[in-house]
Amino acid sequence: MLKGFKVIKVLGNASESTVSITPKYFKFNADTATELGNPQFIKFWMNADTKSFAITPCAADDEDAAKFFSKPSTSGKRAVINVAFKPAHSAIVRLMAWQDSEFTHKVPGIFVAEENAIVYDLTRATEYGGKGTKEDNED
């Protein structure tokens, strides 16, 4: 009965993680830290062919470690995590041709449990912010 059908491959699981890529840094939501086990440091991975990047927890002494924690919120609200890791930010901005953008790009994540990683497909980014709308800024 299933002759001619192919299995649909699933990468990872549903995730609540999102990252906002501002013109200067990354802004991860609190769910991202929870899904990765609340690491103090992360490592960035990039796949230019698929226009995606991933993050995984790593040790503080890892050569490519980026700080991934924020001060606890006094209000009890879970804080976002701002990461200013220039090598990864520059590589992603160049890959997506966002160098001159005043906009922030929000990307949903996919949690891959076997790798303890969250993967972000940059082609799924939504754009917001900036001055006026995107259409207003296109001349």
- pLDDT of res. 139: 40
- pLDDT of res. 135: 45
Q: Is 12 exposed, middle or buried (0-12, 13-18, 19+ CB in 10 A)?
A: middle
Rounded to whole angstroms, the Cα distance separating 131 from 136 reads 8
User: What average pLDDT values come out for the chain (139 residues) when binned by 10 residues?
Assistant: 70 82 96 93 97 97 93 72 96 94 94 94 92 45
